[in-house]
Amino acid sequence: MPRSPTTSDVFNAIAEPRRRQLIELLAAGGALAVGALVASMDLPQPVVSKHLGVLRKVGIVSVHKDGKQRIYSLEADRLKVVHDWVKNFEQLWSHHLDRIKLRAERKARGEQA
Amino acid sequence: MPRSPTTSDVFNAIAEPRRRQLIELLAAGGALAVGALVASMDLPQPVVSKHLGVLRKVGIVSVHKDGKQRIYSLEADRLKVVHDWVKNFEQLWSHHLDRIKLRAERKARGEQA
DNA sequence: CAATTGTATTCCCATACTGGAATATGTCAA
DNA sequence: TTGACATATTCCAGTATGGGAATACAATTG
């Protein structure tokens, strides 16, 4: 079985640097038209539109028409799942690191408390 | 110009569900041998080894030998970059959401404060 | 309606990705 | 050394991906 189409998954959507850049632009600039995004990205318009399409499909951005322009907005709450996931490991790089690591290794060796 | 090899990038590494699962297992279980990971994942050993290889290359996990076993440990701090990135948008889904959204949209319309 | 502007879609190419199977490598034990 | 066990690597197939170019589509203006 070959690779499964992991697109339409938030983690995959943000794996692309350009798409992260788009997210950053929308986070900083609020709602923006495609043209504005194209101007900020060093990429041809069709490519930007395609990346926006991915983000749209995943729900990370939403669009509404404004004349012939399409205004994109960030739906930031869709990123929450990523935040929540990494947050689970936050303690592992905190200042408690040493103690936690030690405990984990002891456990791995099968030692009793 | 085709796609650039985005592998060896943390965001890409965690885009794979199986790899996230491996990370979770290591976070929960501390240091674990490949065999233990294979037992917990419904995947053949070579596939697991390959995923571990990716995580290793990115630095998300480290290995040390123990006899014929390879013990993998999570290098959680490598995930910090992801945490930091999403954290930038945390406020956008907080309870201030409405006010922030409003402000952003006003700004987009070019209105003055 | 025609022309123009803004954006999305389609087709193509080169490459990358994952999983499967087989095999190689490494390590210990007898 | 031989054999068994643990893990890594290689080769293959099918699919997905991103960017380029051309084109289609939509909306506004004249």
In this structure, what DSSP letter does residue A52 have?
H
Q: How far apart are CA B73 and CA A2, in angstroms?
A: 28
Query: Which of the two residues, B112 and B87, has the higher pLDDT score?
Result: B87
CA atoms within 13 A on the CB side of B34: 21
A73 touching B (Cβ < 8 Å): yes
pLDDT at A76: 96
Query: Which of the two residues, A15 and A110, has the higher pLDDT score?
Result: A15
Q: Work out the average pLDDT over A28-44.
A: 96
A59 touching B (Cβ < 8 Å): no
pLDDT for B54 beyond 90: yes
> Across the interface, do B12 and A14 touch by the CB < 8 Å criterion?
no
DSSP-assigned letters across all residues of chain B: -------SSHHHHTTSHHHHHHHHHHHHHSSEEHHHHHHHTTS-HHHHHHHHHHHHHHTSEEEEEETTEEEEEE-GGGGHHHHHHHHTTGGGGSTTHHHHHHHHHHHHHT---
Q: Work out the average pLDDT over B97-110.
A: 58
What architecture does CATH give domain B10-109?
A: Orthogonal Bundle (1.10)
> Which CATH number applies to A10-108?
1.10.10.10
| Residue among A91, A62, A86 at smallest CA distance from B13 | A86
**Among chain B residues 12 through 31, which have CB within 7 angstroms of nucleic chain C?**
12, 16, 18-19
Contacts of A107 in chain B (CB under 8 A): 29-30
Q: Work out the average pLDDT over B62-66.
A: 97
Q: Which sequence spans correspond to the domains of chain A?
A: 10-108
The shortest C-alpha distance from A4 to chain B (Å) reads 10
Handedness of CA B56, B60, B64, B68 (dihedral sign): negative
Q: Work out the average pLDDT over B61-71.
A: 97
Helices (H), A3-113: 10-13, 17-29, 34-40, 45-58, 80-87, 97-108
pLDDT at B19: 97
Query: Which of the two residues, A75 and A98, has the higher pLDDT score?
Result: A75
Q: How far apart are CA A61 and CA A63, in angstroms?
A: 7
pLDDT at B105: 58
The region of weakest confidence among A65-74, A80-89, B30-39, B104-113 is B104-113
The region of weakest confidence among A104-108, B24-28, B47-51 is A104-108
> Across the interface, do A17 and B30 touch by the CB < 8 Å criterion?
no
Please, what is the end-to-end C-alpha distance for chain A in angstroms?
43
Q: Cα A39 to chain center, whole Å?
A: 21
The region of weakest confidence among A62-76, A98-112, B71-85 is A98-112
A64 touching B (Cβ < 8 Å): no
pLDDT at B113: 32
